[in-house]
Amino acid sequence: MIEEAAAYHLNELRVALDPSDAHHILPPIDPIHRRVLDIGCGAGQTLLACQCQERRLAVGIDPSLPAVTLGRSLDTRLRLICGVGEWLPFASGSFDLVYSRVALPYMRIDRAIAEMARVLRPGGTLWLTLHPLSRVIRDTMAEARQLHLRAVLHGAYVIGNGLALHALGRTFAWPFGHGGYESFQTTEAMRRCLARAGFEAIAIERSRFFVARARRRP
């Protein structure tokens, strides 16, 4: 299991380093972004691909200890810690840029976005990649064709949670096993969640990737 996880993260690093890969996307990092936080960093592959460890304070947080341990072995300049996006162990206003690449959909979104706003300095930048409903439906239909009933049940939960986010502005934990969160996101729900948390200049792009950008209000 640990070896499979390591192989997954190393493949993610390969994708992050290869602009020709269909899954390649990196956050735009400007010279003013001297302090960068990656939430759901895995082994720090995005930080490495962006060369954040050079001339910047580069910090990553991820709930997986094996992923964090692997990342520390890849580059000792990265500061990787175990933790979750809903409770960030950093002082308010600590970062110029906070980003999360395909990790926010697996968090309690309202709580995580509030924490992102807290640790960003006024005027700081937020960048997120998200999951549209079409992806969840595609994956759930694939599981249904394979008669993976538990996966289909989970897909129904993800769809229901995305609808809850759209209607209520929050998501709910998976009611079985060890809990956890997963949802799809809509443009309208993300705009409302970001504005409620204190963000402005909210821009949503839905083309090859579903990306949200915003700036913390001064």
**Angle at the Cα of 28 (from 169 to 70), degrees rounded to 5?**
85
Q: Are 58 and 76 in contact (CB under 8 A)?
A: no
Q: What is the structure's pLDDT at 107?
A: 97
Alpha carbon distance 203, 210 (integer Å): 11
Q: 72 lies in a domain?
A: yes
Q: pLDDT tens for the chain, 218 residues: list them.
A: 667 778 888 888 898 889 999 999 999 999 899 999 999 999 999 999 998 777 789 999 999 999 999 999 998 888 999 999 999 999 999 999 999 999 999 999 999 999 999 999 999 999 999 999 999 999 999 998 998 999 999 999 999 999 999 999 999 999 887 789 999 999 999 999 999 999 999 999 999 999 999 999 99
The answer to the question of residue 125 being in a domain is yes
Q: Per the domain annotation, does 198 fall within a domain?
A: yes
Q: Is residue 41 part of a domain?
A: yes
Residue 211 lies inside a defined structural domain of this protein = yes
Identify whether 138 is part of a domain: no
Whether residue 60 lies inside any domain: the answer is yes
> Which pLDDT value is given to residue 52?
77
- Residue 146 belongs to a domain: no
* Number of domains observed in the structure of the chain: 1
Model pLDDT for residues 90-105, shown as the tens digit of each residue: 999 999 999 999 999 9
Residue 32 sits in which domain range? Answer: 2-21+28-131+191-216
Q: What DSSP designation does 87 have?
A: B
3-state SS track over 15-29: HHHCCCCCCCCCCCC
- CATH number of 6's domain: 3.40.50.150
Q: Is 111 left (phi over 0), alpha (psi -120 to 50) or beta?
A: alpha
DSSP 133-147: HHHHHHHHHHHHHTT
Q: What is the pLDDT of residue 1?
A: 61
Pair 85, 93: CB distance under 8 Å = no
Tokens 């990306």 found at: 211
